[in-house]
Amino acid sequence: MLTLLSAVSFDVSNIDANAMTLFIIGFSVVFGALIVIYLLFFFLPKVFNFDAIGKPKEKKQKPEPKTEKSTEVTENSEIFAAIAMALHLHFEDAHDEESMVLTMDIQDRVSSQWSSKIININ
């Protein structure tokens, strides 16, 4: 590894002023564009007042303290439970029992247009 590194030589005197100018301008343009893109993505949601989902943010209001938690089951939740149970029973019965036996019909040298070249090779 050390011999490989010593075999590679780099002469700084071969770099002229035009190459250094092009190098500095190129790197500054690339990094400047990256900074502009970062700032655009950072401030654009704040300018348009959007959150991560894309909906406009609403001003936060202080939540009212909840004094009583209701644990009663409403009629809607009973209806939803009945629908869920009906769907579960419907989709559970969708598949019939299979024998899980695989039968393969093997034929020797069946000629077709797809296998004609491979048959002639043998």
**Cβ atoms 57, 51 nearer than 8 A:** yes
If one counts the domains in the chain, the total is 1
**CA 88 to CA 81: how far, in whole Å?**
10
- Is position 36 within any domain? yes
Answer yes or no: is pLDDT of 11 > 70: yes
- Is position 77 within any domain? no
Phi-psi sector, 25: left (phi>0), alpha (psi -120 to 50), beta:
alpha
The mean-pLDDT minimum among 5-19, 45-59, 98-112 falls in 45-59
The answer for residues whose C-beta is within 8 angstroms of residue 119's C-beta and 6 or more apart is 109, 111
- Please, which pLDDT band fits residue 22 given cuts at 50, 70 and 90? very high
Q: What is the mean pLDDT of residues 68-91?
A: 76
Answer yes or no: is pLDDT of 62 > 80: no
pLDDT of residue 12: 79
Read out DSSP for 20-79?
HHHHHHHHHHHHHHHHHHHHHHHHHHHHHTB-SSSSBPPPP-PPPPP-----PPPHHHHH
- Is position 33 within any domain? yes
- Is position 117 within any domain? no
- Please, which pLDDT band fits residue 84 given cuts at 50, 70 and 90? very high
Domain that holds residue 22: 15-57
How many residues would you count in the chain?
Answer: 122
- Is position 48 within any domain? yes
Q: What is the mean pLDDT of residues 70-76?
A: 59
pLDDT of residue 109: 62
- Is position 73 within any domain? no
**Cβ atoms 33, 39 nearer than 8 A:** no
Query: Does the reported pTM lie above 0.85?
Result: no
